[in-house]
Structure 1
Amino acid sequence: MPDATPPAQGGSRRDEFVDRFKSWALPVVVVLLAAGFGTASLVNGLTDRDRKAGEAAAGASVAANPVCEVTDRKGVAPSSGALFGVNLNLDAKPLSQYAADLGHKPAVSVSFADFPYTDQERVHLQQAAAQIRTDGHMMLLTLEPKQGLAAITPDTVTGLVKDLADINAGGVPVIVRLAHEMNGSWYPWSQQPLEYKDAFAKVATAVHAGAPGSAMMWAPNYAGGYPFAGGQYEAKPGTPDFDALDTNHDGALTMADDSYAPYYPGDDAVDWVGMSLYHWGARYPWGENEIPEANKFADQLTGTYVGANGDDSLLPDFYQVYGHDHGKPVAIPETAALYNPAAGGAAEIDIKRLWWEQVFNPDTTAKFPNLKMINWFEWDKNEVEVNGRIDWTITDTPSIRDAFTTALPAWLHYGTGTNCRPTDD
């Protein structure tokens, strides 16, 4: 998520990827049935012939069905170092190919879904879980309530918990990132701290009770430029939400107000805290190929960055407050460095290398011991903020991939497979 003003931004949105559903649905059903997912939850929308073929193929491998131990959410964060994960365009590259390119199975794989999600999105999540079970370890599930917070009903929460429990039982832990970037002004759930905290707490209570292999992540937007005036969903003066966000009680929302605390749902509801940090460039407008400023990654995480929005030193120290004071594991759910193939300026390898050298600096784990997850944004996609294609990837170009994999530090943790065994053991 960039340092700039709305609308929200690059990397944090997902593209639609179900257009080819029918072409791969049957093989997915077979894989997931073998992994222990219920037939009825998978075959909605398939023909009777497809359904019977899938059930027959799955039945032939019943003896190989695994029994999987559920990883309790408290055991997900490593005691030292950080999990390395990926936000991957699975239409462009399957997780198995990414793992081969990286030389490691990623510990975390990011998925997006509307919430409530559609039947096709539900199948996609189960398909992603099957890939993770084989070539990763854990899912970070970002749920976007695009119909507004009121759409988070008891029935939708009950369905979510059941699906999470099924995925957990298949050997895949899940961290739910619910309604991320809620302190922005560009989403239907934006700048509604009272309703947001209530919805988050209700989902967290249900997830904690019904899906012990799943955890909850609270993930605001990096607050440079807060309160992002002019966004479609900015808080309006005279409303209870506006009053709750006016933390210094001066009748205005500015960077002098706390840009995170009014949205925090409480320690009981939150298992992880997260913040996406990108290098979108050194100055606005975005789209130029620019070298990352020195120490930018750490400065953004601590609220001391001086860059595109001016002096952000009024921002709270996110890591200190939520990682240290609240004692929560800290995640960088998405990170990458902007490279615009259509623009001149700095070379792609220099931009990306100087960013990952900051992220993976030895000082990073020493200075931020509660930083427990770092996920790379591995997409080559059109970005509306640039009105053009941006290549965020690090494994698609062999020379960049080789440099990146060589730079991966020893303190990162990768996917180790799931705690599953055949039923005939």
Structure 2
Amino acid sequence: MSRRRGDGLGTHARDGQKRMRIWMTVNVFLLASLTALIMRVSSRVEAAETGAAAGQTATATGPQIAVPGGGGAVPANIPSKAQIMAAGGKYFGVAAPGMPWSSSAGTQIAQTAGAPPDMDEYFVNWKQDFSSVPVQDAYAQGMLPVLTWEPSPGGNAHTTQVNVPGYALSTIINGSHDAYIVKFADAVRDAKWVVAIRLAHEMNGNWYPWSEGVNGNTTGQYAQAWRHIHDIFAREHADNVIWVWAPNIIRSASTSLKELYPGDAYVDWIGLSAYDVTEHTAAQLIDPTRRLIRKFTAKPLLITEIGSQPSSFKAAWTADFLAWLPKQSDVIGFIWFEYTRAQGAGTDWGFDADTSTLASFRLGIEPVRLVALPLQ
């Protein structure tokens, strides 16, 4: 009995010593792992800080992508409108927070997407004057600036004022805004760089004050107002503008597109807002509207806003779109709407909203021959 008790005490002692050795071994391993982790994080932070100091952003999303211009000096060569419009390839554009002002934002998009964007879209309302700063920032990063010019006093991140009589189409037509338009045109001209202006977009809907059927606007006034603005730019010799007439796809808009079109003499590119909600292919989303547009103009088509609503088929739709794009000779590119719900969008439209969609985008954009602006 005593021997068994003695044997038992010896066994417990040996077990205790064994557990102590295991505990010490595990803790040494954990300490080593923690030290290595701290060193990796410190190295990544140091790399990020070094990159930031050089005007770059460190990222772990993929291989480093060189961004033309890199947010540095504006290129010395100012290409003409004809040179820009003759550039071959497809545009990969973005509309994203901080762009085109922040070179680090542009670099981050390039790293995430796996390709550098060559076009950037931003928004200006009629309470704002033209600034050459974002234009030069865009060109410094190898991107063509697309300025969405909204004839309204603005709104906030989540709403747009529709009933604003001071910005009815009739007030544009009768010259009430001519002083502002002339000042804007002169500033664009003096900046010298080519700017694509997407004027009064999605006019075939009913959610903006420049649409016919709202804000006191009547049939025929939209095209008349467009021509009035265009004529002022022509008179002021602001010839460095690519004019983009950009309706919404017809799924959620009903006004006749042909009736809203100001004519080929007043338009350089056709734009299109096209957001995937229930469609499973790019053709299903875009072609019904494109067929209508092709009945009255053959101008090149640029999809000036695109994105896909979060869904089980978002990744597959993204892959289909990027496979569809190179086959369309009349479609010169797209601008992806890289805003989230928290940033004011209706939902998370971005190509990086989830890992599967991002993987589809990176794989799909890689073989697409992108536009290289003639900046050398």
Structure 1 Cα separation of the partners of residues 369 and 75 of structure 2: 28
Determine the structure 2 residue equivalent to 1:354.
Answer: 316
List aligned pairs for 1:63-78, cutoff 5 A: 67-72=76-81, 74-78=82-86
> Do the aligned partners of 2:243 and 2:269 also contact (CA within 8 Å) in 1?
yes
Deviations 1:248-272 (A, max 9, x none): xxxxxxxxxxx20110101100111
Unaligned runs of 5+ in 1: 1-63, 228-244, 246-258, 283-291, 304-314, 340-344, 420-425
Q: In the alignment, is residue 408 of structure 1 matched against residue 370 of structure 2?
A: no
Fraction of identical pairs, as percent? 23
* Matches of 1:90 and 1:384, distance apart in 2: 14
User: 5+ unaligned residues in a row in structure 2: which ranges?
Assistant: 1-72, 153-166, 213-217
Q: CA deviation at 1:143?
A: 0.9
Q: Residue 195 of structure 1 aligns with which residue?
A: 221
Distance in 1 (CA, whole Å) between partners of 2:354 and 2:284 is 29
- 2:265 aligns to what SS in structure 1? coil
SS at match of 2:250: coil
User: Which of 140, 144, 148 does residue 150 from structure 2 map onto?
Assistant: 144
C-alpha change, 1:415 and 1:391, in structure 2 (3 Å) is farther
Change (3 A) 1:132 1:401: same
Q: Which structure has the highest helix share of the two?
A: 2
Per the TM alignment, residue 135 of structure 1 is displaced from its structure 2 partner at its CA by 1.3
- 1:213 corresponds to 2:240: yes
Q: Does the aligned pair in 2 maintain the 1:302–1:320 contact within 8 Å?
A: no
Deviation for aligned residue 1:225: 4.4
Return the structure number with greater relative CO, CA threshold 8 A, min gap 6. 1
TM-score by length of 1: 0.58
Per-residue CA deviations over 1:154-210 (Å, capped at 9, x if unaligned) read: 21221121222244x2xx421111111111112111114422112211222333452
Deviations 1:96-126 (A, max 9, x none): 33234334331210011112x325xx4xx53
Map 1:246-261 → 2, pairs under 5 A: 259-261=256-258
1:318 alignment partner in structure 2: 292
The one-character-per-residue Cα deviations of 1:75-108 (angstroms, maximum 9, x if unpaired) are 3335654211111111797223323433433121
AA aligned to 2:227 is A
| Aligned counterpart in structure 1 of residue 136 of structure 2, from 125, 130, 139 | 130
> Could you say which residue in structure 2 is the equivalent of 1:112?
123
Of structures 1 and 2, the larger Rg is shown by: 2
Distance 1:76 1:417, change over 3 A: closer
Query: Could you tell me whether the CA contact under 8 Å between 1:273 and 1:330 is conserved in 2?
Result: yes
1:159 aligns with 2:183: yes
Supply the distance in 2 between the matched residues of 1:226 and 1:134 (Cα, whole angstroms).
Answer: 37
Q: Let me know the Cα RMSD of the aligned residues.
A: 3.0
Q: Say whether 1:327 aligns with 2:298.
A: yes
Deviation at 1:379, TM superposition (A): 0.9
The alignment covers a number of residue pairs equal to 277
CA deviation after TM superposition for structure 1 residue 273, in Å? 0.8
| Contact 2:205 2:253 (C-alpha < 8 Å) held by counterparts | yes
Distance 1:166 1:410, change over 3 A: farther
